[in-house]
Structure 1
């Protein structure tokens, strides 16, 4: 993973810990999350904001497989976002990803505790299973997230279910075992409980 340089402090930072921040002149600058948060705190008149940093944690999923999660916090005016994500090589459309939002003055360790609880609930469930014909929907519900399929010429998404990237056509094939059934599609903000 190629590190990038923050234009404000000069720190070499992994891409997952950077923000392309817009300026008032309409240009974009690459900032590390710490510099982004410092600028947001100044912009929002938040005094004494401290950029929280957390070491990665490993959690087990329902199959007993280990997943390492990294964290990033972003100050968004009057709210703070705490994100947890797996690093899946250079492909951001794989792996588990979680987010929680709260007031900007919230205790970061309380947020971390809430986020880890959310992660453990999600990791305890399996929405896919594999049989002789490949991945299938386990039961009658699948939870996941929508991602870009990475093809510049395509207008199709892919989905990530149980931390696994599933191409749109493959997901459609999985749904064919439910031909004739009804469905309900509900889209949720990444910070909501799925």
Structure 2
């Protein structure tokens, strides 16, 4: 095991925990710890496929309990806001729109289509076609896309 070779202690951390999202839905996360050379990475995946995913990283000598607390804080912040809203036209047809002209997402592998990733928004997977339909209302607008590692903070 790499931890033993590097002389890193691995304290017990919870394997799962629950956080409420902005709508009061309880989200169950599983924690994975990885040691990659000079970095310890804690990743939390929501228990269901293609859902929320968050990560924090630190140095091998960092307090891993504090790192775990940082992960929970990051998840709590991430779940405190939703970016999409659904509604219905008077005709009864439903639509989805971007709240406050701003959204954050995570790209994830699509088992059904290896050509393009899924876009996870508000813990739900969307195809690029679906994202395109959601963004149609913004035709003519400028768009800024910023790619960040999962462990980095996304402002």
Number of matched residues?
149
Indicate conservation of the 8 Å contact 2:8/2:61, yes or no.
no
Tell me by how many angstroms 1:51 deviates.
5.4
Which residue number corresponds to residue 173 of structure 1?
A: 133
Matches within 5 A, 1:51-130: 52-88=12-48, 91=49, 94-130=50-86
Residue by residue, what CA displacement relative to the aligned partner does 1:59-101 show, whole Å, maximum 9, x if unpaired? 111111110111111111111000111111xx3xx21110001
Indicate conservation of the 8 Å contact 2:15/2:32, yes or no.
no
| In 2: Cα distance, 1:151 partner to 1:53 partner | 34
Gaps of 5+ in 1: 1-38
Q: What RMSD in Å do the two structures reach over aligned CA positions?
A: 1.5
3-state DSSP of counterpart to 1:143: coil
Residue by residue, what CA displacement relative to the aligned partner does 1:153-194 show, whole Å, maximum 9, x if unpaired? x51221001100111100001110101000101100000112
Indicate conservation of the 8 Å contact 1:57/1:69, yes or no.
yes
Q: Could you say which structure has the greater relative contact order, defined with CA pairs below 8 angstroms and 6 or more residues apart?
A: 2
Indicate conservation of the 8 Å contact 1:59/1:68, yes or no.
yes
What's the TM-score, normalizing by structure 1?
0.72
Which residue number corresponds to residue 41 of structure 1?
A: 3
Gaps of 5+ in 2: 89-93
| In 2: Cα distance, 1:74 partner to 1:173 partner | 37
What's the TM-score, normalizing by structure 2?
0.89
Indicate conservation of the 8 Å contact 1:52/1:108, yes or no.
no
